[in-house]
Amino acid sequence: MALPPDLHMHTPLCRHARGEPVDYARRAVELGFTEIGFSDHSPMRQNDFDDWRMRFDQLDEYVENVRKAQSAFPQLTIRLALEVDYLPGQEEWIRELAARHPWDYFIGSVHYVSDTWAVDNPHQLSEWKSRDAWEVWSVYFDRLTMAAETGLFEIIGHADLPKKFGHKPTRDCAPLYERFLNAAKKMNCALDVNTAGLRKDCKEIYPSRQILERAFKKEVPITFGSDAHAPEEVGMNFAEAMKLARGVGYRECTRFVRRRREMIRI
Ligand SMILES: [Zn+2]
Ligand SMILES: [Zn+2]
């Protein structure tokens, strides 16, 4: 079976990935991919916001590095994208970024549930000790819903990221999922079926089967992403991700060309 595009991968400019875009592209060709997309962590307006993204003055270099991979592997379609952090109030900045290059898509991701705490940051793991899991998940899904509602993103990244280290509320999260998925459907956002979770403590694809089942019922489209931070992670566990997606009923996934959606059979 043909592999769907791997639309979520990083580059060393974000300071926690290794291998240049040409190395990811080479790996993708070896695995039989016909399409991939780079979506490195976008810069913030303030370069010292945190230490796990490119600086704003590296944005052009990022685009050049992706272009180099495109020239080196003409048989592979390589999309140009960003994984953009959504925090309330960042909308104007995100519009400025969008205007700077001919992007194929933006993945909107929530990592921050406050101005300073990214729930998936292993260096901030101790924060979880002083927080109630339900409260974190509620704030996270509020922000994810807001991200979808902005209309700034084609894809919403790893929708249940707070499960990364295994922190799950005992309360039923269905109302949080429901609100978020309604916003995603209304604004035409696809869900990133992201295999990185399988490589983390939670040992689960993002998002969970429960979320994907609800998404399928509402006809929310999906994309696939390895969230590769190293060339050998390209396309990792895609067989499992496709099995999950097909298992809940999906027969199509999505790709984006200059921010326009196209459907592909899976
Ligand atoms: Zn990363
Ligand atoms: Zn992310």
| DSSP secondary structure letter of residue 102 | -
Beta bridge mates, 35: 77
pLDDT in tens, 78-106: 999 999 999 999 999 999 999 999 999 99
Instruction: Report residue 186 CA to chain centroid gap.
Output: 19
Ligand nearest to the CA of 164: 2
Q: What is the pLDDT of residue 101?
A: 98
Left if phi > 0, otherwise alpha if psi is -120 to 50, otherwise beta: which for 158?
left
Tell whether the model's pLDDT for residue 244 goes beyond 70: yes
Q: What is the pTM of this model?
A: 0.97
Distance 156 CA to ligand 1 centre (A): 15
User: What are the structure tokens assigned to 82, written together?
Assistant: 């960003």
pLDDT at position 260: 97
Strand duo 77-85 + 252-257: pairing: unpaired
What's the 9 CA to ligand 2 centre distance in angstroms?
10
- Do strands 252-257 and 260-265 pair parallel, antiparallel, or not at all (unpaired)? antiparallel
CA of 15 to the centre of ligand 1 (A): 9
Segment holding 11, helix H or strand E: none
Centre of ligand 2 to C-alpha 148, Å, is: 15
Give residue 11 CA to ligand 1 midpoint distance, Å. 9
Average pLDDT over residues 227-254: 98
CA dist., res. 201 & res. 45, Å (int):
32
Q: How confident is the model at residue 2 (pLDDT cuts 50, 70, 90)?
A: confident
Mean pLDDT for the stretch of residues 226-236: 98
Q: Using CA atoms, how far apart are residues 40 and 56, in angstroms rounded to an integer?
A: 12
pLDDT at 161 over 70: yes
- Inter-axis angle of helices 209-217 and 174-186, to 10 degrees? 40
What is the whole-number distance in angstroms between the Cα of residue 51 and the centre of ligand 1? 11
Q: Report whether 125 contacts 175 (CB < 8 A).
A: no
User: What tens digit of pLDDT does each residue of 26-66 get?
Assistant: 999 999 999 999 999 999 999 999 999 999 999 999 999 99
Task: Calculate how far, in angstroms, residue 227's C-alpha sits from the geometric centre of ligand 1.
Answer: 7
Whether the predicted pLDDT of 1 surpasses 80: no
**What is the structure's pLDDT at 13?**
98
**Is the separation of the CB atoms in 221 and 254 below 8 Å?**
yes
- Mean pLDDT computed over every residue of the chain: 97
Ligand 1 mean position, distance from CA 48 (Å): 16
